[in-house]
Structure 1
Amino acid sequence: MPSKTTRRTLLAGAPAVAALALAACSEEDAGPLLAADADLPTAVPEGTKLVIGDPSQQLAFELSGLASLLTFEVEWANISGGPKSAEAFRAKSLDISSVADIPPIHTNWTGLPTRIVAAAGRIDPLDHPIYDLGVAPGAAVASIEDLAGKRIAYSPGQAQGALILRVLDAAGLDQDDVELVELPSTADTYSNALAGGEVDVAPIGGTQVKSYLNKYGADGATAIPHGLRDDPWVLYAPVEVLEDADKAAAIAEYVRLWGAAKLWTRANRDEWIDAWYVEHEGLSAEDGAYLFDREGEPDFPETWDETIERHQETIEVVAAGTGNEVLDAEDLYDRRFEPLVAEGIAEYGDGGAS
Structure 2
Amino acid sequence: MIKKSLGAAVALLTIVTISACAKEDAGAGLELTAALPDSVPSGTVLRLGDPAGQAVLQESGIVKELADAGVTVEWANISGGPQSIQAFRADKLDCSAVADIPSLFAAWTGTSTKIIFQSVTADPLEFPIYQLGVAPGTGVAALADLRGKKIAYSAGQAQGALVLRVLKEAGLTQKDVTLVELTSTGDSYITALGSKAVDVAPISAFQVKLYTAKYPGGSSIGTGIRDDASTVYCLTKSVEDAEKAAALKVYVAARTKAILWQNEHPDEYAKVYYQDVQGLNEADAREVVRISGTKAIPATWDNAVERLQATADLLAAEQGHDKLDVTTLVDRRFEKVQAEAAGSAVVTGDAA
Q: TM-score, normalised to structure 1's length?
A: 0.87
Report what 2:328 is aligned to.
331
Report what 1:163 is aligned to.
162
SS in 2 for 1:223: strand
CA distance in 1, matches of 2:34, 2:87: 27
Letter in 2 for 1:37: T
Residues 1:149 and 2:148 aligned together: yes
Residues 1:105 and 2:104 aligned together: yes
Give matches, 1:231-310, under 5 Å.
231-310=228-307
Report what 2:212 is aligned to.
213
Letter in 1 for 2:40: V
Q: Among 26, 30, 33, which residue is 2:26 paired with?
A: 30
**Contact 2:260-2:296 at 8 Å conserved across structures:** no
SS in 2 for 1:129: coil
**Contact 2:48-2:94 at 8 Å conserved across structures:** yes
Q: CA deviation at 1:215?
A: 4.0
CA distance in 2, matches of 1:348, 1:206: 25
Q: Among 50, 57, 63, which residue is 2:53 paired with?
A: 57
Residues 1:90 and 2:86 aligned together: no
Structure 1 runs, 4 residues or longer, greater than 4 Å off? none
Report what 1:140 is aligned to.
139
**Contact 2:133-2:221 at 8 Å conserved across structures:** yes
Q: CA deviation at 1:194?
A: 1.7
Q: Among 324, 337, 342, which residue is 1:340 paired with?
A: 337
Q: CA deviation at 1:211?
A: 2.9
**Contact 1:136-1:200 at 8 Å conserved across structures:** yes
> How big is the alpha-carbon RMSD for the aligned residues of Structure 1 and Structure 2?
1.8
CA distance in 2, matches of 1:347, 1:57: 21
Q: Among 47, 66, 89, which residue is 2:62 paired with?
A: 66
Letter in 2 for 1:233: S
CA distance in 2, matches of 1:348, 1:123: 11
Decide which structure has the larger Cα Rg and report it.
Answer: 2
CA distance in 2, matches of 1:268, 1:309: 31
Deviation per CA, 1:218-277: give whole Å up to 9, x if none.
x4x321101101110001111111111111111111111211112112212222222222
CA distance in 2, matches of 1:314, 1:259: 25
Deviation per CA, 1:118-147: give whole Å up to 9, x if none.
111101111111111111223232221221
Letter in 1 for 2:122: I
Q: CA deviation at 1:291?
A: 1.1
**Contact 1:142-1:224 at 8 Å conserved across structures:** yes
* Matched-pair identity in %: 48
Deviation per CA, 1:198-229: give whole Å up to 9, x if none.
11111111332123223444x4x321101101
Figure out how many residues of one structure are paired with residues of the other and give that number. Answer: 324
**Contact 2:154-2:184 at 8 Å conserved across structures:** yes
**Contact 2:297-2:345 at 8 Å conserved across structures:** no
Where does the alignment leave 5 or more consecutive residues of structure 2 unmatched?
Answer: 1-17, 347-352
Report what 1:45 is aligned to.
41
Q: Among 315, 322, 344, which residue is 2:312 paired with?
A: 315
Report what 2:222 is aligned to.
225
Q: CA deviation at 1:309?
A: 0.6
Cα distance change, pair 348–133 in 1 and its aligned pair in 2 (3 A): closer
Residues 1:76 and 2:60 aligned together: no
CA distance in 2, matches of 1:172, 1:26: 53
Which region of structure 1 is more displaced relative to structure 2, 274-283 or 303-312?
A: 274-283
Richer in helix (by share)? 2
CA distance in 1, matches of 2:32, 2:272: 39
**Contact 1:257-1:345 at 8 Å conserved across structures:** no
Report what 2:14 is aligned to.
none
SS in 2 for 1:212: helix
**Contact 1:31-1:246 at 8 Å conserved across structures:** yes
CA distance in 1, matches of 2:121, 2:45: 31
SS in 2 for 1:271: helix
**Contact 1:166-1:318 at 8 Å conserved across structures:** no
SS in 1 for 2:171: coil
Q: CA deviation at 1:319?
A: 1.4
Deviation per CA, 1:171-193: give whole Å up to 9, x if none.
22211111101112122221222
Letter in 2 for 1:159: A
CA distance in 1, matches of 2:62, 2:124: 27
Letter in 2 for 1:199: V
Cα distance change, pair 192–280 in 1 and its aligned pair in 2 (3 A): closer
Letter in 2 for 1:57: G
